Structure 1
Amino acid sequence: MVLKITYIVLFFLSFLEFSLFYEITSNKVNKNYLILFFTTMVSNFGYAMLIHAGSLEAALCGDLLSYIGSIFTILFMLEVVVDMCGKRFLMPYRIFLLLYAVTICIIIATTKNSNFFFKHPYIVQEHGITVLKADFGPGMFFYFAYLATINISAILIVIHSIFTKKKVSKKTLQFLLCTLIIGTLFYVIPLSLGININFMPFIYVSMEMFFLYVSAKIDAYDLPLNLMTVYKTRGGYGYIAFDKKKRLLGCDEFALQVFPDLDSISIDSLIPDSSKDIIEKLHYRDSDWNWNEKCNKDFKITTRKKTVIGTIHPILSHNILIGYLIELRDDTEQQKYIQGINTFNKDLSHLIGETTRQVTDMHDSIIKGMAIMVESRDNSTGGHILRTSDCIQIFAEELLKHRNIPQITSNFCKLLIKAAPMHDLGKIAIDDKILRKPGKFTMDEYETMKKHAEEGAVIVKKILDKTEDKEFERIAVNIAHYHHEKWDGSGYPDHLKGEEIPLEARIMALSDVFDAIVSERCYKEPSSFDEAFEIIRNDLGKHFDPVIGQAFIDCRPQLEEYYESVLQIE
């Protein structure tokens, strides 16, 4: 009676394990595991039916179920073992074993009439249970050969994997090997000793428990499944699936938040004309925006509430396109952060620009103040600094019109105008007796006065040494140093000739001389504009650069207008 109850319990345990396996693997059911659990349940039902049989027909029916269940149980056990060991089950070998199993099942099912599997069956009662006894037929040899082939194959595969496979848990394989060996022994030993109690239901239930444990644990090793789980559970991600004809296959909750109209579109339908937002944002009908060409490339989707990054992924089956999966990633917070950064940078740039402008203006004012202070010591050049600076500005506007001088750019002219007030800064080093002399200089005094060019270059260099604008420093130093050089080499201090003279110094020379001619000095009366421009014209190629000089003459109307207004005020 106890054995009868035990076999019933073992069947129900198989049923519970089958149900439990299906539940814990609902995300990704492995068909080999599922069939293994089902055939084990069928086999255990057959064993329970056999020991409860009250007739030969019932016993034969239970025996048939137990054999058929066992045949397919060990076949799919081999499938599971191969899968666990990370190996491939060769298709010819799989087909051979399947045909072999089906053949044996047919032999067993027809044994009552053929006596090929066993013959002269009869039942007896032993230990309170029904036992089916019979003489083995020739078909039993094929059954034992089948069992031996599969069990030995499974054991060898596991042993080989333990020693060669690095990507498989060795602990799990070792436990699996023990289960296979123990199961084989519990079948062979009772059969050899003639023990009528069948231990296979116990082995099957134990094996199912092991595979339940493995199937629950194996998900941790399943990278694609883990990735899928992560993508499904993390927030801010969504998906829309289309077939290759762009018919909707489905979407998730996040996709509905981005495109609420998706909720009203039927599965296997094209996006209707009324869903303009979807058509526009997903480039659904853009002839110049081919989904195949845009695969795996990001594009931005902006709605009233969200900013989303979309990526089109191809859905392939055996390398054949069957559809598209549009991945949606919430980028709203990132865009707000970037917008905040941009606003901050804009405000900071404005603040830095304003501060820099104030510092630059202060710097320029100090330099101009120094130049005016120096000029105040010179009785002969009242207002010369301011007038030459304005003259340079007028001249620079004219020079920008001459495309044949590539060095002259708007930035060059800006720096030139800024540096002009510093051209006579070297006079600060000249003795007041000479600088403030009311008449003409003697030869010695003139030689001393000429030193202001070199001294000016040294002073300007020291003043601007720490400036970041090295181009401005270069222009200012050259103006102070070389504005008295002449085109024919007769100037001072270095007797430079032609284009050896820096361009900025050649320009400054014209404004400096012109102002000296048309302005009143303590030793002379002002000359007329006609006389001044005649002197300039006659000195082209001698004192002045002929090309630059002609440009200066071309801006005569503007210069006359300026000087008439300034000299009248003075």
Structure 2
Amino acid sequence: MLQIIYFGCFCITLLVLLFLLAYGRTVSVDIVLLSVVIAVSNGGFFALSKASNLEEAILANNITYGIGLFSPILVLLVICNICRIAFPNILKAVLIGVQILIYFCVCTTGHLTIFYQSIELHFGEAGSYVTKTYGPVHDLYLLSVLVYTASGIVVVIYALNKRTALVSRRNLDMILFTDILTVGLYLLERLLHLKYEMMPLVSTFSIIIISSIVIRVYFFSVYYNQNMFEDEIIKNGYIMFDKNLRYMGANNTARQLYPELNSWELEKKIPGNGGRFNTFLRQSLMKYVQEGKIEATKGKTYEYKGELYCYDIGVLLRKGSSIRGYYIKVSNLTDVLR
């Protein structure tokens, strides 16, 4: 039964990977790499449960360490992207390089005692499993897991305080929860010396949750759709909504034009308590949605404090014709007409 579960987790993570690849350049390389790492590692867990000799078990066990070594730093990078916190490429390369060196130590299992002092293969009713005595480098591996998890918590707290996140607090909490759950389960397994790994189940659950959140970020965020708006992203304001008219974000220009956007909660319905947006844009947006149009409205104007503004309303489409959301583009025409 456990082997079937491992194989199912492997297949599910492969489907998640294909789903992410279908979005092409819409998603970042970090989330794609995370799904690759989890898929390959889940395959390793399945292979370990089917191992018939120690050599096969060691090889499969080495593959499973992809989750522990590379998932924590990749999750941290995903969190930094979502929270709009720059992560220097040089630092990224150094940290990943350290993880690769630790992985090389994992691959010495059976030859050196720096990662495992000993490893034995056992056969149980649910499949094959190994018991291990850990070496000194394993402590460094555990330290890296804890450091990256703690760093993710710090980044989320900072982003919530500075309101830099591209997703709601609920979604940030969900990503953080899956990260802490994965690490917590791993530490619990080591503490209780469990025979069989539950990591494939948790990691599969985690990649599904994280991928669903990240896809929404990269689809609706103005910051990740700059190629759609080209050089107009700076001089024009853009406000994004999903198909249920929940607020999904805006660029800095839009926040300056409509200061109330700074207090709006992401992924929540448009507040109805005044403000320039409700005064000048809300009614037109509602009418556009009710009419079910696909073509963008062009050239609607309004005047505010002697300034003339023009706005367009359009749809965000999936590949095909189904509506994924809406955008509003606002331009200041005052200087153009002078």
Normalising to structure 1: TM-score of the pair?
0.38
Note the alpha carbon deviations across 1:237-272, whole angstroms, 9 max, x for none.
xxxxxxxxxxxxxxxxxxxxxxxxxxxxxxxxxxxx
Q: Provide the rounded CA distance (Å) in 2 between the counterparts of 1:48 and 1:163.
A: 42
Q: Given the alignment of the two structures, is residue 8 of structure 1 paired with residue 7 of structure 2, yes or no? A: yes
Q: Quick check: 1:121–1:134 contact (8 Å CA) kept in 2? A: yes
Please give the alpha-carbon distance, in whole angstroms, between the structure 2 residues aligned to 1:166 and 1:77: 18
Displacement of 1:214? 1.3
Aligned-partner Cα distance in 2 for 1:10–1:51: 13
What secondary structure sits across from 1:203 in the alignment? helix
Q: Which runs of 5+ in 2 are unaligned?
A: 231-338
Q: Matches of 1:102 and 1:35 in 2, distance apart?
A: 14
Could you say which structure has the greater relative contact order, defined with CA pairs below 8 angstroms and 6 or more residues apart? 2
Partner of 1:557: none
Q: Which moved more, 1:213-222 or 1:99-108?
A: 213-222
**Contact 1:219 1:225 (8 Å CA) reproduced:** yes
| Cα distance change, pair 103–230 in 1 and its aligned pair in 2 (3 A) | closer
Match of 1:59 in 2: 57
Q: Give distance in 2, aligned partners of 1:215 and 1:53.
A: 36
Q: What SS does the corresponding residue of 2:87 show, helix, strand or coil?
A: coil
- Aligned-residue offset at 1:100: 1.3
Residue 223 in 1 paired to residue 247 in 2? no
Give the structure 2 partner of residue 532 of structure 1: none
Q: Secondary structure at the match of 1:198?
A: coil
- Identify the residue that residue 17 of structure 1 maps to in structure 2: 16
Closer, same or farther: CA 6–163 of 1 in aligned 2, 3 Å: same
Structure showing greater Rg: 1
Amino acid at match of 1:33: I
CA contact (8 A) 1:162 1:174 kept: no
Name the SS for the 1:112 alignment partner: coil
| CA separation of 1:120 and 1:210: change in aligned 2, threshold 3 A | same
Q: Which residue in 1 is equivalent to 2:254?
A: none
Which residue does 1:135 correspond to in 2? 133
Contact residue 155 and residue 181 of structure 1 kept, 8 A: no
Shift of the alpha carbon at 1:155?
1.9
- Alignment size in residue pairs: 229
Give the direction of change, closer, same or farther, for the CA distance of 1:69–1:174 in structure 2 (3 Å limit): closer
Richer in strand (by share): 2
* 1:91 Cα deviation after fit: 4.0
Amino acid at match of 1:135: T
1:362-381 per-position Cα deviation (integer Å, ceiling 9, x unaligned) = xxxxxxxxxxxxxxxxxxxx
1:343-365 CA deviation, whole Å, 9 max, x = no partner? xxxxxxxxxxxxxxxxxxxxxxx
Per-residue deviation at 1:76? 1.4
TM-fit CA distance, 1:101:
0.4
Q: Superposition pairs for residues 377-392 of structure 1, below 5 Å?
A: none
Q: Pairwise mapping of residues 325-344 of structure 1 onto structure 2 (< 5 A)?
A: none
Q: How does 1:320-399 map to 2 (within 5 A)?
A: none
Of 129, 146, 149, the residue aligned with 1:148 is 146
Between the aligned partners of 2:113 and 2:129, the Cα distance in structure 1 is 19
Question: Shift of the alpha carbon at 1:72?
Answer: 1.8
Alignment of 1:86-165 (within 5 A): 86-165=84-163
1:303 match: none
Q: Which residue in the other structure is 1:68 paired with?
A: 66
Change (3 A) 1:70 1:174: same
Map residues 207-218 of structure 1 onto 2, 5 A cutoff. Answer: 207-218=206-217
Which position in structure 1 is the counterpart of 2:310? none
SS in structure 2 at match of 1:134: strand
Aligned to 1:349: none
Pairwise CA distance, 1:190: 2.0
Q: What are the residue-to-residue correspondences of 1:542-553 with 2, within 5 Å?
A: none
Identify if the C-alpha distance between structure 1 residues 157 and 61 changes in structure 2 by more than 3 Å, giving closer, same or farther.
same
Map of 2:43 onto structure 1: 45
Compute the displacement of 1:96 (Å): 3.1
Give the AA of the match of 1:221.
F
Do 1:81 and 1:158's aligned partners in 2 also have CA atoms closer than 8 Å?
A: yes
Q: Is the 8 A contact 2:83 2:159 kept in 1?
A: yes
